[in-house]
Structure 1
Amino acid sequence: MATFSIVAADPRVGMWGVGVQSKFLAVGAVVPWAEAGVGAVATQAWANVSYGPEGLALLRQGLSAEEVVDRLVQADPGRDHRQLGVVDAHGRAAAYTGAACLEWAGHRVGPGYACQGNILAGPAVVDAMARAYEEARDRGLPMEERLIEALRAGQAAGGDRRGQQSAALLLVKPRGGYGGYTDRWLDLRVDDHPRPIEELHRLVRLHRLYFGAPDPSRQVRLEGAVVEEIQRLLQATGYYRGPISGRLDDATRQALRTFQLNENFEERVVGDEVIDGDVLDYLRDLARRRPAGGGPATGSAVGGGAP
Structure 2
Amino acid sequence: MTFSIVAHCPRTGQFGAAVSSSSPAVAARCIRTRAGVGAVASQNVTDPSLGDKALDLMAHGASAQQALDILVATAIHMEYRQLALVDAQGRSACFTGSGGLGIVASALGAHAACAGNLLAHAEVPVKMLAAFQSSEGKLAERLLQAMRAGLDSGGEAGPVHSAGMLVVDAQSWPVVDLRVDWAEQDPIATLHGLWKQFEPQVDSYTQRALNPSQAPSYGVPGDI
Same fold, TM exceeding 0.5? yes
Q: CA deviation at 1:261?
A: 2.6
Q: Is the 8 A contact 2:4 2:19 kept in 1?
A: yes
Across the aligned residues of Structure 1 and Structure 2, the Cα RMSD in angstroms comes to 1.8
Percent identical residues: 37
Q: What are structure 2's unaligned runs of at least 5 residues?
A: 205-215
Look up the equivalent residue of 2:108 and give its one-letter code. V
Q: 2:198 aligns with which of 192, 200, 207?
A: 207
Look up the equivalent residue of 2:165 and give its one-letter code. L
Distance (whole Å) between structure 2 residues aligned to residue 17 and residue 108 of structure 1? 16
Distance (whole Å) between structure 1 residues aligned to residue 11 and residue 41 of structure 2? 21
Relative contact order higher in (CA < 8 Å, ≥ 6 apart): 2
Matches within 5 A, 1:60-139: 60-136=59-135
Distance (whole Å) between structure 2 residues aligned to residue 112 and residue 211 of structure 1? 23
1:29-56 per-residue CA deviation (whole Å, 9 max, x = no partner) reads 1011010101111000011211111111
Distance (whole Å) between structure 2 residues aligned to residue 52 and residue 130 of structure 1? 20
Look up the equivalent residue of 2:65 and give its one-letter code. E
Instruction: Tell me what 2:154 maps to.
Output: 158
Give the SS at the match of 1:25.
coil
What is the TM-score of this pair, normalised by structure 1? Answer: 0.66
Q: CA deviation at 1:151?
A: 0.4
Matches within 5 A, 1:126-275: 126-136=125-135, 140-175=136-171, 182-193=172-183, 194-212=185-203, 260-262=218-220
Cα distance change of structure 1 residues 263 and 119 upon mapping to structure 2, 3 Å threshold: farther
Q: Which has the larger radius of gyration?
A: 1
Distance (whole Å) between structure 1 residues aligned to residue 10 and residue 126 of structure 2? 23
Look up the equivalent residue of 1:97 and give its one-letter code. T
Distance (whole Å) between structure 2 residues aligned to residue 111 and residue 15 of structure 1? 14
Look up the equivalent residue of 1:205 and give its one-letter code. K
Look up the equivalent residue of 1:208 and give its one-letter code. E
Give the SS at the match of 2:219.
helix
Q: CA deviation at 1:143?
A: 0.5
Q: What are structure 1's unaligned runs of at least 5 residues?
A: 176-181, 214-256, 267-305
Distance (whole Å) between structure 2 residues aligned to residue 173 and residue 148 of structure 1? 17
Aligned residues: 212
Q: CA deviation at 1:77?
A: 3.5
Q: Which runs of 4+ in 1 moved over 6 A?
A: none
Distance (whole Å) between structure 2 residues aligned to residue 151 and residue 131 of structure 1? 11
Instruction: Tell me what 2:47 maps to.
Output: 48
Instruction: Tell me what 2:208 maps to.
Output: none
Give the SS at the match of 1:262.
coil
Look up the equivalent residue of 1:207 and give its one-letter code. F
Distance (whole Å) between structure 2 residues aligned to residue 49 and residue 205 of structure 1? 28
Instruction: Tell me what 1:20 maps to.
Output: 19
Q: Is the 8 A contact 2:58 2:67 kept in 1?
A: yes
Distance (whole Å) between structure 2 residues aligned to residue 86 and residue 163 of structure 1? 25
